[in-house]
Chain A
Amino acid sequence: KAGVTQTPRYLIKTRGQQVTLSCSPISGHRSVSWYQQTPGQGLQFLFEYFSETQRNKGNFPGRFSGRQFSNSRSEMNVSTLELGDSALYLCASSPGGATGAGLFFGEGSRLTVL
């Protein structure tokens, strides 16, 4: 079974640009959650999608948005990039709706904002 696939793995943007990151979950998994990891703040929850609906949202500005498609693939978008958005963005897929289900992470997309 293929794991969680994130693309692109690395990208460089400049301030003010926007970026879209993609996450393909494990086949059959319906939940995709997104996390930001920085050296200063560690791991922080961005949002979670389940069956194409945003179920939970973390404390991030509206510049951070996401969506999930009918095949469970998910994208997140960051508009008007700031230097502080430089981070490793991780997605995780989970089989079902309960927190008690397993959590499987992708390798991450490393974003550098110049």
Chain B
Amino acid sequence: KNEVEQSPQNLTAQEGEFITINCSYSVGISALHWLQQHPGGGIVSLFMLSSGKKKHGRLIATINIQEKHSSLHITASHPRDSAVYICAVGETGNQFYFGTGTSLTVIP
């Protein structure tokens, strides 16, 4: 049983395309993070959400608590966006359940 389901697993896009990654979860939630991991391992938290919507530059993240669903959107994708994106759902403290990740490749 996967507490966090993420889709798609792999995504290839042309530069400039609009990208959506989805995350559904079954656990109770205190906060949800969208993480970005580049080759080599380093992980960065792009967004922390507990409700509504957040925007940083070309990235937008939304969460619907009632439907237990979150989406990460990338507008005008760029090759430097190529990375693995991981949804992390926190119940208490920093005990997170993780999605399996979406490997994004943006082709120039």
Contacts and interface: CB of A to CB of B under 8 A. Distances in A.
A33 B95 contact: yes
Contacts of B92: 55-56, 99
Q: For the complex, would chain A's binding face be called helix, strand, loop or mixed by DSSP majority?
A: strand
A102 B88 CA distance: 13
Interface in B14-37: 30-31, 33, 35
Interface residues of A, number: 28
For A56, A97, A110, the residue with the greatest tally of chain B CB atoms inside 10 Å of its CB is: A56
B83 interface: no
B44 A105 contact: yes
Interface residues of B, number: 26
Interface in B76-106: 86, 88, 90-101
Interface string A82-114: 000000101010100111101111011010000
A56 B98 contact: no
B45 A45 contact: no
A43 B99 CA distance: 8
Interface of A: 31, 33, 35, 37, 42-45, 48, 50, 55-56, 58, 88, 90, 92, 94, 97-100, 102-105, 107-108, 110
Given A44-B98, A105-B42, 4 more contacts: A42-B86, A42-B98, A48-B94, A103-B48
